[in-house]
Structure 1
């Protein structure tokens, strides 16, 4: 249920993002910094209020998530000029490709409960030297007429042989075939080496005598959650596993070369080859264009559907829920494993946990589908990188944060209050995923996606990150190596800027999103750019593994231009065609539709070049997540951003069917092959961050920096106090489909809270203090007076962040 927003000194209403002095002008959203360039704020008036375009969309706001400093070049060139030192990888060792599975399990005739070890008949029955046989012959001799002993023996032998065959057939049926169908799950349930399909240990629980198959390999039949059936197709030695009586069993394996979920995945040694499930639980117009177009077609007059907020304002709740249900299904997870991938990165928004009254998002619903994703990932042996993609107030102002416009996390008058809420949500998610039921499936936790680090400043962002890290580690309990890796996006500052941060942090990871398509556009065909990623990223990632620790490319794609429907936002045009003007003027280089998007007519040379480009990216990045698994159709019935769909690339032949084929594509002579430090992998020294670092990066920051006229250092900002009860997230309620077996055991999904010692309150408004709309924008002054009584003012004394000049970056 939605919770009410606190009382304020100003009226609260959903913001149309219009300028308070001119309703025809809208506040600007931040642009993404160009590769090789410093962060750029679009043109604004003298009060710091950005101009809007003719459509009423904030200038710069529609720039997509991807417009970070893709190459992090110091010289501002469109590509990095440095080329990594490379050599070709050795041939695949035979063990890497060989199946780790032994031959099928054998159910022996003479073993098992209730079965004798050998077949035995009555002693002496066939032995003429035994007393029984001898006595029978003597009786016949005394009372019967003399007959041929040979004929008698033959008849007796034939009768005995028939009896023996009947007995053997009965034993085989009851002790082997019938027993196999009902008792096979009594073998080790989680064995990753068991090739034979198993069944429920209690066959009486299956309806109409059906056998509930709980595991299988390539070619086996799967019953999905909704009762539908399909064939498991995985030529890489993968094994699925799902037992309604053992729903947290981690026996599944994505491929023969990937550790099963009940085995250790060694970060830094085992390669992450993953794909994002973008546009599902946090929607984006270019990923689900049909959803946005259909809702726009019936939207009330005056509403332009440009993000999830306006989608719901336009009455799209039913359409959104149907999108959750249909866009990604269980079969997608099976296909991802079958594509040779071992991880999925799943973006979620804060509204999966709670929504305050008036914020306009659909509360809690997406969480139920994330729970399904955990179940599906577990079934097919995939691990999850959970990514908190959208924060209250927005951390970047882009449409994928839920609401296009300004960014208000660690920036603007509500910057601290919004960050406090975000830290609570990080803590709540960490408590859930650190439970034993989920910790082996969810291995990484991206605490905040793509914050605007250049404006927020690295000092403020790093303080927030350290507090987020502390929240995750507290949730996972005492002792190094517990809980997920904590993944920090580089904030578009570049990986090199994070060298030396968070020393001895227990499994801290860096996340970078390298893209080439938002730098300078080129009319050169893909055949001329197929190896471009090798020089751009190879050495950068190697150096980061040595200087910071583990780094993963959380997003990259096959796009080399910004062509594609809504890639830059709804109605924003493209740089390639010279129609995108939010970051300056661009020459018209051609027609996107004919030059880049007509994938159905690509020739073999073009497809081969895209395949090379994909493998070059994978080899250079080493550990990666492609953005994204699927692009939906437009209402015209076709995919209009083909370079972003891994699934389409597999179908059309421009993505590798085995991602291991990328090894050595760049001639990589220096991929990271070293060993990460013990603290980077959860070893004994992990978690001992030096005291001086903890003090230097204490939370909350003493000041934050943002634009506009609010510059007086004497003003204080709205903050919350830890006076509420934390939200506890529920686990999945498992309801078998009609006609499918029901559980015979009581299974609990976990309490939602891993560490009972984590008892701090949840951040809530302070009675007597005033708060602004979370999406208020940075040009608005804090409430004045901030609090209406002395007691309320004293509650803020623990944190009085003033607005000052930016601190000197830490080196």
Structure 2
């Protein structure tokens, strides 16, 4: 099967191979995140992390029992009838003494119960354990208790019907009919005891990739916005300007949408969404993140670092409800694909164009920084997968250059984590629209590496055929390819798919891009007019039961054929017209309206697949024996950097293009701030959330400009490189990250 059409084709696609070059914006933006929850999240700059105090001592395994005789001695109290007969004194002191003893025993019992509920709570085998099995997971449905800042007893775990206090102080009822349990103890915020469903391993248990199924959903349009997912955000900002067309996050900020964007972060996804995702039978979330969560350079119109604050919230919520995270680096500097969901619609400038090497070097730095953070023991139970680059333009970049980049990204992740099961996340590589078959044999023996395919039906030819004619299309289109890849290559996940079979929907192709189905799409074609999207496909309030059941069957066929998957996306927001105008893309809406399965396990067998993958992955694919031992012949053939970079009209030796050298100090990402409470409001202590860097031996410098060398705007497009490239003190240097990196590049010391 050929490569699937990419999501939301933008100006990066062009007629007859002649793209239009977008001008670069040169305005500077320096906005730092506000702090809406000062008690829980730090506002320190990632450049100036303060040393955290030593962590408070953690409680030991509890000894609570409720069997008869635990709190009171087992020896029976002797009857004294015969003594009363022999010693008839009415003023005997024995009775008051016995009563006093019983009262003391009862008081001791009460104290023991309180201690059992507040100090000796059941915890995971380690507050920051990896993915190994543990018998002390909070997998029962009986609520457990802890203490609040006021010293009052509060629930730390519960099952279906229990009361939950959200991190913003609001309360709601936990609803999960699949045997899931939530777990959150503010005194031990890195305890991973929650379980999404009874059939999904708890976070402190091993998730067996290839055996346990990933049934996931994307949280798209939240920390990397897209106009079709959050249309009102874009429409409202557009209404404030007549000089800028707001089409992507770059122009959203340029048009003054900073406050609107942060309000979107606060309100579009909340803690209850994570609870509802687990309650829907899903066990993973894929969260797109842009590089601006780490930093932006002068002239790059993105809101720096703020989205990282909200990603930390996502980690906390996922931990609380037993969900694992696939962190997807969705947007790179210069753009890896030129589409609006890379941050800026236009050209792509990673591994392509005159800034292709320099932008790739920056991207690899960001991959390294993220890998160091998520591989800390505090986070590795929750963040089980890392998609290093979303949807790069592989057909234009070239598979050789993309493979070299992927190998270097893999090395950066494994340098942070080490190899072997429990050491950091699976590393996920998008196929670059080259097709899975073209990646057969890529990185043999790589430790926990997987492929990512985004199979969509809606971005190619259009049809007026009703949804009832598509019920087996996913089975015939994708099933065998995924089975073969799992059996013959290794782990593969569908990182995105949807219920859409046409490109109908507000802004699905981008703002002002038109729609293929209606013959108005501005790229490619010619596109014939087939009908009206509003009446033919989007009028979901009037869908009858036949239509809804057909969509449900189609969704189940997709799930069964893909086996391990993430639906795109959990939620689509209203437009300013007060309605959802891209219904096929919202899992949440499908659940509410009855066209998505309420239990995704119902999809098993939908395709009647005679050859699904039911075996086990090779040992090295899951972090076992041989993991990480990639043959030298492979690593030598794919050495970083590429030797040649191509772009329209030229193929240029990499040494003649701008590049960086490792002269800077690496950025370390901050963790959240938590305060432990010992039962008295004043008795508090800071809880360590890590220092942002898992491997202190990874001390190479961060890429930065070479003095005396010239650089283009990272988003410049496809023009000639600077000439001369370097003058004076500057001179071309070897690319990559040499072993003799600058000694001054130091990592923030551990607290």
TM-score range normalised by the length of the shorter chain: 0.7 to 0.9
Deviation track 1:512-557 (CA, whole Å, cap 9, x = no partner) reads 0000111211101111112211101000001111222000000000
Which residue does the alignment assign to 1:795? Answer: 733
Which residue does the alignment assign to 2:501? Answer: 560
Which residue does the alignment assign to 2:142? Answer: 196
Tell me whether 1:786 sits opposite 2:725 in the alignment.
yes
CA shift, 1:259, in A, is 0.3
State the distance in 2 between where 1:495 and 1:285 align: 29
State the distance in 2 between where 1:525 and 1:617 align: 17
Label 1:32 to 1:606 Cα distance change in 2 as closer, same or farther (>3 A): closer
Deviating more after overlay: 179-188 vs 633-642: 179-188
Contact 1:481–1:506 (CA under 8 A) maintained in structure 2: no
CA shift, 1:740, in A, is 12
Which residue does the alignment assign to 2:539? Answer: 598
Contact 1:480–1:684 (CA under 8 A) maintained in structure 2: no
State the distance in 2 between where 1:763 and 1:51 align: 27
Deviation track 1:474-508 (CA, whole Å, cap 9, x = no partner) reads 00035565211100000000000000110111111
SS of aligned partner of 1:375: helix
Which residue does the alignment assign to 2:15? Answer: 43
Which residue does the alignment assign to 1:445? Answer: 386
SS of aligned partner of 2:82: coil
Which residue does the alignment assign to 1:277? Answer: 219
State the distance in 2 between where 1:721 and 1:733 align: 34
Which residue does the alignment assign to 2:173? Answer: 231
* Aligned equivalent of 2:69, options 92, 110, 115: 110
Contact 1:341–1:659 (CA under 8 A) maintained in structure 2: yes
* Aligned equivalent of 1:429, options 350, 353, 370: 370
Tell me whether 1:220 sits opposite 2:190 in the alignment.
no
State the distance in 2 between where 1:474 and 1:310 align: 36
Label 1:412 to 1:173 Cα distance change in 2 as closer, same or farther (>3 A): same
* Aligned equivalent of 1:660, options 589, 596, 601: 601
> Gaps (5+ residues) in structure 2?
25-63, 125-135, 738-751
CA shift, 1:684, in A, is 1.7
Contact 1:463–1:698 (CA under 8 A) maintained in structure 2: yes
State the TM-score, normalized to the length of structure 1: 0.79
State the distance in 1 between where 2:6 and 2:290 align: 26
SS of aligned partner of 2:674: coil
Q: How does 1:187-586 map to 2 (within 5 A)?
A: 187-190=121-124, 191-192=136-137, 193-200=139-146, 203=147, 206-207=149-150, 210-299=152-241, 301-477=242-418, 482-586=423-527
Deviation track 1:202-234 (CA, whole Å, cap 9, x = no partner) reads x5x542x63221000000000000100000000
Label 1:170 to 1:668 Cα distance change in 2 as closer, same or farther (>3 A): farther
State the distance in 2 between where 1:740 and 1:516 align: 59
SS of aligned partner of 1:704: strand
Contact 2:453–2:496 (CA under 8 A) maintained in structure 1: yes
Contact 1:109–1:176 (CA under 8 A) maintained in structure 2: no
SS of aligned partner of 1:509: strand
SS of aligned partner of 1:344: strand
SS of aligned partner of 2:364: helix
CA shift, 1:705, in A, is 1.4
Deviation track 1:578-631 (CA, whole Å, cap 9, x = no partner) reads 111301111111110111111101000000000000000000000000000000
Label 1:219 to 1:417 Cα distance change in 2 as closer, same or farther (>3 A): same
Q: How does 1:628-643 map to 2 (within 5 A)?
A: 628-643=569-584
* Aligned equivalent of 1:754, options 678, 694, 700: 694
Label 1:439 to 1:798 Cα distance change in 2 as closer, same or farther (>3 A): closer
SS of aligned partner of 1:222: strand
SS of aligned partner of 1:303: coil
Structure 1 or 2, whichever has the larger Rg, is 1
CA shift, 1:42, in A, is 1.8
Deviation track 1:658-696 (CA, whole Å, cap 9, x = no partner) reads 000000000111110122111111112011111111110
SS of aligned partner of 1:469: helix
State the distance in 2 between where 1:735 and 1:283 align: 32
State the distance in 1 between where 2:356 and 2:522 align: 29
State the distance in 2 between where 1:489 and 1:646 align: 23
Contact 2:574–2:580 (CA under 8 A) maintained in structure 1: yes
CA shift, 1:198, in A, is 1.6
Label 1:119 to 1:254 Cα distance change in 2 as closer, same or farther (>3 A): same
Q: How does 1:641-652 map to 2 (within 5 A)?
A: 641-652=582-593
State the distance in 2 between where 1:163 and 1:798 align: 83
SS of aligned partner of 1:275: strand
Aligned Cα RMSD in Å? 3.0
CA shift, 1:795, in A, is 2.7
Tell me whether 1:775 sits opposite 2:715 in the alignment.
yes
SS of aligned partner of 1:705: strand
Tell me whether 1:128 sits opposite 2:82 in the alignment.
yes
Deviating more after overlay: 188-197 vs 386-395: 188-197
* Aligned equivalent of 2:662, options 708, 722, 732: 722
CA shift, 1:274, in A, is 0.2
* Number of residue-to-residue matches in the alignment: 681
CA shift, 1:235, in A, is 0.4
Q: How does 1:168-183 map to 2 (within 5 A)?
A: 175=109, 179=113, 183=117
Contact 2:118–2:153 (CA under 8 A) maintained in structure 1: no
State the distance in 1 between where 2:426 and 2:532 align: 44
